[in-house]
Amino acid sequence: RSTYEIMRPEDVGVPQTELVLGKHSGRHALRQRVVDLGYHLEEAQLESVYEAFKVLADRKKTIYDADIEALCEQQVHSTESGQVTWTLEAVSCNAGSATIPSAVVCLWHLDGTIHRDSAIGDGPIDAVFKAIERITGIEVVLRDYRLRSVTLGEDAQGEALIEAEHGGKSMTGRAISTDVIEASAEAFLQVINRLAARQTHEKRIRPTENPS
């Protein structure tokens, strides 16, 4: 059974607006706006959206409906991804016309350990992906990578969309942030986490061989 339902605001008679919330808006105001936009999320999902909203409010002067929709979509997509083995702690890049693109990534593992590694690449994003692969030990073939702006303005959120392949199967990742490097890393980690969850599941169902 689906735990959420997504509808367009115009389907339920909600007028389209632009600026809706700001840094000092509370949990109740956000909850109401989420409902007005047609999202029906569980309490835990709403709490996650609120925490993400507070982080976003510290980065952006104004928050639009599209920002809130993106936060809701990210939460829904994250919930569908299943168990999260790896979480992004920090990411930094070094790039320039006279510099070899490189990245340093720090990840938190489900077992409580922190892992850090670096890599070089064809560009800063490629370097980030390679550093994540080095840390997790999982390599994928990147089939599609796209960035788009969620709203207008210099502080607009960027949405990263990734399609990757591993073992003949295709997976997608999606994340948003005002930092496109961070959004790209989070989207790539969604793919990695899905693979990690699949590998864990396969180990559990693999029959135990009896010694001869």
Q: What is the CATH number for 185?
A: 3.30.160.270
**Measured at the alpha carbon of residue 43, what is the angle toward residues 73 and 60, in degrees to the nearest 5?**
50
- For the chain, what is the largest distance between any 2 Cα atoms, rounded to a whole number of angstroms? 71
Range of 15's domain? 9-80
**Measured CA distances, 170 to 128, 144, 189, 192, 211 (Å):** 20, 11, 14, 12, 36
What is the model's pLDDT at position 140?
Answer: 96
What is the model's pLDDT at position 103?
Answer: 97
Q: Are residues 104 and 181 in the same domain?
A: yes
Tell whether pTM > 0.85: no
Nearest CA among 33, 40, 37, 42 for reference residue 11: 37
Q: Are residues 90 and 15 in the same domain?
A: no
What is the model's pLDDT at position 25?
Answer: 74
Q: Are residues 144 and 161 in the same domain?
A: yes
Structural domain contains residue 68 = yes
Alpha-carbon gap, residue 78 to 194, rounded angstroms: 10
Q: How many domains does the chain have?
A: 2
What is the model's pLDDT at position 7?
Answer: 43
Which residue, chain included where needed, has tokens 């083995």? Answer: 85
Which residues does the chain have with pLDDT short of 50? 1-10, 12, 14-17, 19
CB 123 within 8 A of CB 144: no
Q: Are residues 59 and 110 in the same domain?
A: no
Q: How far is CA 122 from the centre of its chain?
A: 23
Q: Are residues 139 and 100 in the same domain?
A: yes
Domain finish residue from 23, 51, 80: 80
Q: Are residues 75 and 104 in the same domain?
A: no
Q: Are residues 62 and 90 in the same domain?
A: no
Write the DSSP symbol of residue 110.
T
Q: Are residues 90 and 181 in the same domain?
A: yes
Q: Are residues 29 and 50 in the same domain?
A: yes
**DSSP annotation string for 172-202:** EEEEEESSHHHHHHHHHHHHHHHHHHHHHHH
